[in-house]
Amino acid sequence: MEAFSLERVANTGETLELVWSDGLVQHIPWSDLRRKCPCAVCQVEREKPTLVEPVKPANLLAVIDRAETLPIRLTSFRAVGNYAYAISFSDGHSSGIYSLSTLRQIGN
């Protein structure tokens, strides 16, 4: 992949807007960035085999934390040198460092 630089980075409220040196403009939803986090913990989680769980009776309701019902939001976004960005999310996750090539791939 050819190395492109970022001309502009903006938080549009719902997405991360990236304007690349080749003119490409990408709008990446925060939920996509969170789901595709490149940190080691998230990579291991994505690679875990999925186990088939027994069917539960339909009348049981899952108890979830209120935070799980809220949309993912950005809480922190900072440059790491000139090659990546560290992004923190509203669910407390903050260990992902997104290289420019990773951001470009996620946006495609």
- Given a contact cutoff of 8 angstroms between Cβ atoms, the answer to whether 3 and 99 are in contact is no
What is residue 52's predicted lDDT score, i.e. its pLDDT? 67
pTM of the model: 0.76
SS3 22: coil
CB atoms under 10 Å from CB of 47, counted, come to 7
Contacts of 66 (CB under 8 A, 6+ apart): none
Judged against a pLDDT cut of 80, whether residue 77 lies above it is answered with yes
Tell me how far apart the alpha carbons of residues 105 and 11 are, in angstroms, rounded to a whole number. 18
Q: How confident is the model at residue 81 (pLDDT cuts 50, 70, 90)?
A: very high
Judged against a pLDDT cut of 60, whether residue 1 lies above it is answered with no
Query: Domains along the chain?
Result: 6-49+63-107 (3.30.2020.30)
Spacing of C-alpha 77 from chain mean position: 12
CB atoms under 10 Å from CB of 101, counted, come to 14
